[in-house]
A = this chain, B = another copy of it.
Amino acid sequence: MNPAGIEVYPRIKPKGEELQYKVKPGKKGFGITGLDEMLNGGFREGTITLISGGTGTGKTALALKFLLDGAEKCENELFLSFEEPVSQLIDNARQLGWETDKYLADGRLDIKFISPIELDVDKHAFEILDMVSSKKIDRLVIDSISSFESSVSDIQKYKDYLWAIAQQIKRRHITAIFTALNEDLFSPASVTKNQISLLADNIIILRYVEKNSSIKKVLGILKARGTNHDRDIREYEITPGGINVLGKLDKANMFI
């Protein structure tokens, strides 16, 4: 186990297919060995990533870890939470062995919470857009885009706003993660609806599967722009030591 509490089990691979893992220039990863490995170092800078999964699959934790990895590298990070209050996010991180205090203290990590009840796109749109565009942010998380969408009565406004945020992200070369709640808990989401997929350069899917009468979690990378990413469907677990990406899961049935 390394200092960041990340443990990786060896992935079983055919011989001669040795993966070369080293952080590439211009790439931003999670600091989760197995996952960064799958991404060939991380996401390309200035890209937008969609993480889609059911409740409890760890979308928020993954997204937060992405920011913590950046904060550790002295970047500036912003987490826009429409789901959990700041204290709960911090507490959850602690449960996974991740400290957020020093980053919050020195300003490298900023967490803004707008409760899904209070979220009013017409009211908050410019405020949020302003946060994204005025601060010198390196990595951004919007958790979740689903809460965001469900708070808008006018779908066109939602699209316009999303587009405007995406424009700012691209323009400022921010590397962003949008999380999306998959309501059909045990079937693959329709990740392409409402144009989210048009904005997403990278898509990671999280889901539950049943294996030997236990509930397992698996992840797969559907696309990752400009990266020859790993196509395997791999098991992962969320433990007090962090998020561990394990080996391939036989008959993962991700797409059924």
Residue in B closest to A117 when the chains form the complex, CB atoms? B163
Residues in B whose Cβ lies below 8 Å from that of A231: 214-216
Stretch from A21-29, A101-109, A184-192 contacting the other chain: A184-192
Q: How extensive is the interface on chain A, given as a class? A: 35 or more
Which of B95, B115, B223, B255 touches A210 (beta carbons < 8 Å)?
B255
Contact A225 B115 (CB under 8 A): no
Residues in B whose Cβ lies below 8 Å from that of A184: 190
Give Cα A188 to B186, complex, Å. Answer: 8
Q: What CA separation (Å) do A201 and B91 show in the bound complex?
A: 12
* Interface locus among A2-10, A71-79, A122-130, A243-251: A243-251
Considering the chains assembled together, what is the distance between the CA atoms of A185 and B182 in angstroms?
13
Per-residue 0/1 for A145-169: is the Cβ within 8 Å of any B Cβ (1 yes, 0 no)? 0010010000000011001000000
Chain B min CB distance to A55 (Å): 4
Q: How far is the CA of A147 from the CA of B215 in the complex (A)?
A: 29
A15 within 8 A of B: no
Which of B92, B198, B214, B222 interacts with A208 by CB under 8 Å?
A: B222
Closest to A160 in B: B117
Nearest residue (CB) in B for A96 is: B226
Given A160-B117, A228-B240, A233-B213, A55:B222 Cβ within 8 A: yes
Taking the complex as formed, is A254 at the interface, i.e. its CB lies under 8 A from any CB of chain B?
A: yes
> Of the candidates B147, B215, B226, B232, which one forms a contact with A220 in the assembled complex, judged by CB atoms under 8 Å apart?
B215
Q: Which of B203, B239, B240, B255 contacts A186 (CB 8 A)?
A: B255
Closest CB in chain B relative to A170 CB, distance in Å: 8
